Amino acid sequence: MRHITVLGATGSIGVQTLEVIEKMEGVRAEGLSTYSKIELLEQQARKFRPKKVCVVSEPHAKELKIKLADTEVKVLSGSEGLVELAEGEKSDTVITGIVGIAGLVPTLAAVRAGKRIGLANKETLVTAGDIVMSEAKRCGAQIIPVDSEHSAIFQSLAARVNPKEYDREVSEIILTASGGPFFGHARESLLGVTKEQALKHPNWSMGAKITIDSATLMNKGLEVLEAGHLFSMPLSRVKVLVHRQSIVHSMVRFCDNAVIAQLGAPDMKLPIQYAITYPARMEMTGNELDFLSCGPLTFEEADTETFRCLSLAYQAGNIGGTMPTVLNGANEEAVSLFLNDKIEFLEIAEVVEQAMDAHKTIASPSARDILEADLWAREYVRGALHKIK
């Protein structure tokens, strides 16, 4: 029997994880969390009967306790409750579907408890990749990527066997990017685009924050940094190619020029399921890739002049230390301001760049330094907003 905890069970990744688990034999949902969506969490708790659930928002947790009083499900609350859920003794696998740096502390707790991590929450590695990867090694936690590009790379790397030759054999990682809804647009045509336009992703249905990140190409920037940590690759060997069809999920180029890629219809259920079943594979019904109808596969360069966030991410990653945290924190704040109609689409990149320019990097930050740098970046962006308006 496998026991799974789903952090962020009420989000896009969380809901799809439960759909995957429902179809698997010998797999049980042990713990579920939400920030405040208690109606959905109640339905999930009644259906999957986890031992524990956590509602981060305290008032919502109180309400859910009353609603679930007729069940055996224990309701935890707050950030301590989230850590308790992530460490849960009975679960062997934790799927991290929380959005943003809020996922860092519970993910680190699950890593330190030696769990298998199905990592969707990319902000964890972007902000604290050095700490998380070294703690995973120390505590014997396996990190299996759920992000589709990283799952593709993880699967493509299975083609090689000698760990001692890794650095020589693997030349580069090529992340594919759909390009988002504004691919091909010039900067001037992005003046005044609305959140409704930015939320229309051409190929994937995801949470609001990552969808906006896909439109600015910040998502690809965060994925570059995520890949650097996951696959121990210098950023000079992590490349990005725009591939509008989202069929080739990413590729690895080897020293003998062999390129190995993973292909499939765009569907997050495959990387989610693979993170649970790895190294085995399990049947998946529907959504089979049909080569005769998927149309031509195209590859183009990303326009980093218009979509500044991608180059800002490389810059932050090359500086290292707390700079990627500032990139991420400033971006989280800016995306939230954009979604609340407080700033323009193009101002997202502008305020992130301003925050990076103003930040004094700490080269080898502790977890506390990282959380402080995140708060600093958010405050900086809120301050910059007053100057803009």
- Binding site partner of 207, from ligand NDP, Mg ion, none, Cβ cut-off 5-8 A by kind: ligand NDP
Nearer to ligand NDP, 209 or 229 (CB): 209
Options 121-129, 274-282, 301-309, 310-318: segment touching ligand NDP (CB under 6 A): 121-129
Whether the CB-CB separation of 48 and 18 falls below 8 Å is answered with: yes
- Binding site partner of 337, from Mg ion, ligand NDP, none, Cβ cut-off 5-8 A by kind: none
- For residue 309, the minimal CB distance to ligand NDP (Å) is 14
Q: What does the alpha-carbon distance between residue 246 and residue 40 come to, in Å, rounded to a whole number?
A: 30
- 3-state SS class at 363: coil
199 binds ligand NDP (CB under 6 A): no
Nearer to Mg ion, 76 or 309 (CB): 309
- 3-state SS class at 193: coil
- Binding site partner of 75, from Mg ion, ligand NDP, none, Cβ cut-off 5-8 A by kind: none
Binding residues for Mg ion, total number by CB under 5 A = 3
- For residue 149, the minimal CB distance to Mg ion (Å) is 5
347 binds Mg ion (CB under 5 A): no
183 binds ligand NDP (CB under 6 A): no
Start-end of H helices in the chain: 12-23, 38-48, 58-67, 78-87, 104-112, 123-139, 148-157, 166-169, 195-198, 208-216, 218-230, 269-277, 308-319, 323-339, 345-358, 367-388
204 binds ligand NDP (CB under 6 A): yes
- Binding site partner of 10, from Mg ion, ligand NDP, none, Cβ cut-off 5-8 A by kind: ligand NDP
Q: What does the alpha-carbon distance between residue 106 and residue 84 come to, in Å, rounded to a whole number?
A: 8
Q: Which amino acid is at 142?
A: Q
Q: What does the alpha-carbon distance between residue 251 and residue 259 come to, in Å, rounded to a whole number?
A: 7
- Lookup result for tokens 């900086």: 380
For residue 347, what are the contacts with CB-CB under 8 A and spacing of at least 6?
334, 338, 388
Nearer to ligand NDP, 10 or 250 (CB): 10
CA end-to-end span of the chain: 56
Options 183-191, 204-212, 246-254, 347-355: segment touching ligand NDP (CB under 6 A): 204-212
Residue 298: CB atoms within 10 Å? 10
Can you read off the two tokens belonging to residue 140? 């014997």
Binding residues for ligand NDP, total number by CB under 6 A = 27
- For residue 211, the minimal CB distance to ligand NDP (Å) is 8
202 binds ligand NDP (CB under 6 A): no
206 binds ligand NDP (CB under 6 A): yes
What 8-state DSSP symbol labels residue 72?
S
Instruction: Identify residues 128-147 at the interface with Mg ion (CB under 5 A).
Output: 147
254 binds ligand NDP (CB under 6 A): no
Q: Of the candidates 57, 65, 3, 9, which has an alpha carbon nearest to the alpha carbon of residue 33?
A: 9
Print the binding letters for residues 79-118 with ligand NDP: x by CB under 6 A, - otherwise.
------------------xxx--x----------------
The CA-atom distances, in angstroms, between 381 and each of 150, 313, 336, 353, 356 are 30, 17, 11, 10, 10
Beta-bridge partners for 260: 252
Please spell the DSSP secondary structure of 263-315, one letter per residue: E--S-THHHHHHHHHTTS-----S----TTTS-----B---TTTSHHHHHHHH
Nearer to ligand NDP, 98 or 313 (CB): 98
Nearer to ligand NDP, 98 or 371 (CB): 98
Query: Residues 3, 5, 11, 307: which binds ligand NDP (CB under 6 A)?
Result: 11
Q: What does the alpha-carbon distance between residue 289 and residue 218 come to, in Å, rounded to a whole number?
A: 28
332 binds ligand NDP (CB under 6 A): no
Interface ranges with Mg ion (CB under 5 A): 147-149
Interface ranges with ligand NDP (CB under 6 A): 8-14, 34-37, 56, 97-99, 102, 120-123, 147, 204, 206-207, 209-210, 268
